[in-house]
Every structure is written in C-alpha cells, then in structure tokens.
C-alpha cells in the first residue's frame, strides 16, 4: 500500500482559488511547510492516524511512504502545497501535495496525495485549515481522491469548493 490507495473512490477537483487574504487556522493551531527535518515526525503522525483502521500499517511503512512522497515517487513534491499542523507544538496533522502524479486516472497538475489529522485532534477545523492553506498557496486547480465511504471528507471538500471531476 502507498499513500495513493487503490480504493473505490471519486475524483474531486477544484478550480476555486481562494481570495487575497490568507485563511486563518483555528485558535491554537499553527501551520508550517513540511521540511526535510519534519519527515520522521510526519511519518509517525501518519502511522498513528491509521492505527486500528483497515488502512493500518507499520511505523516503518508509514515513514517509508512519507519519504517516498518527499523523494518524488508519487509526483514532484510541492513544498508550497505540503503543510503540517501543530497544536501546542504537537504535530496534529499534515497535507501532502505533489505535482503531476504518475497515475493515469488522475488529472495533471497539483494533487493532494494525503490529508490526515490525528484522531484525537479531529473536528477542530485542522483538516479544513490544511486544505485552505494549499488552496491559497497554489491558487490553481487541485486534484485529490477521496474514498466513497468517507462522508465527512466529502462534505469537507465540497464545502471548500471541490466538485466531481469530469
């Protein structure tokens, strides 16, 4: 399994760049571009996010997937579209974005390969803030894949201007 999961899913696409004012994350949440020094922490958070789910993986696999994304295995890493979120200096989530992913069934251009928020940090607006940060930073159409069974994710993306790709 890789960050790009082969699941039954819908493709969503947005061409709604945000306005001229940067979005504000929720109180107590800070967003930072992901740097090389953050990759091990992002890998640990990625692993913790999926513990106890059908997508559960080992810490080694999770860290490998994050490093593979950084190294361009899923498309060229977009630093201006890849952020981590911290609450009280603890990593609480991240969004990983690449340019021109290698899969034939996805649109060309920026593509969010993963958005994750630690379970105990969910429902605080962190995922929304991460997606908005990417929309504001890139100001172009952005593709992503979302699992058909992820109703909350669908609602989030639709509320942020995403619509089904044609």
pLDDT band, very low/low/confident/very high, at 83 (cuts 50, 70, 90): very high
Average pLDDT estimate for 42-46: 97
Q: Which residues contact 25 (CB under 8 A, 6 or more apart)?
A: 31, 85, 125, 126, 129, 133
85 has which bridge partners?
31, 93
pLDDT value, residue 14: 61
What architecture is the 9-164 domain classified under in CATH? 3-Layer(aba) Sandwich (3.40)
Lowest mean pLDDT among 17-21, 52-56, 142-146: 17-21
What average pLDDT is seen over the chain? 87
* DSSP H or E run through 155: helix 151-159
Whether residue 156 is predicted with pLDDT greater than 50 in this model: the reply is yes
- Axis crossing angle, helix 59-70 with helix 39-49, rounded to the nearest 10: 130
Q: Write down the pLDDT at residue 15.
A: 54
What are the pLDDT digits (tens) for 7-39? 345 555 665 666 677 788 999 999 999 999 999
11 close to 163: Cβ distance less than 8 angstroms: no
Predicted pLDDT of residue 24: 87
Q: What is residue 5's predicted lDDT score, i.e. its pLDDT?
A: 40
Place 106 in a pLDDT band, splitting at 50, 70 and 90. confident
- pTM (2 d.p.): 0.90
On the question of pLDDT at 124 being above 90, the answer is: yes
Largest Cα separation within the chain, whole Å, is 41
């Amino acid at each position: 399994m890789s960050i790009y999961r082969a699941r039954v899913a819908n493709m969503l696409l947005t061409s709604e760049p945000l306005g001229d004012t940067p979005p504000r994350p929720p109180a107590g949440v800070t967003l930072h571009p992901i740097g090389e020094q953050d990759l091990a922490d992002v890998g640990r958070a990625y692993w913790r996010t999926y513990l106890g789910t059908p997508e559960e993986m080992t810490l080694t696999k999770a860290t490998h997937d994050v490093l593979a994304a950084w190294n361009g295995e899923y498309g060229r890493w977009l630093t201006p579209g890849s952020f981590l979120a911290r609450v009280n200096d603890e990593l609480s989530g991240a969004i990983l974005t690449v340019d021109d992913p290698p899969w034939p069934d996805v649109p060309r251009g920026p593509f969010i390969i993963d958005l994750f928020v630690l379970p105990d940090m969910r429902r605080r607006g962190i995922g929304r803030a991460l997606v908005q940060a990417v929309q504001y930073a890139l100001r172009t159409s952005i593709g992503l894949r979302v699992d058909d069974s992820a109703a909350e994710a669908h609602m989030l993306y639709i509320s942020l201007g995403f619509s089904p790709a044609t």
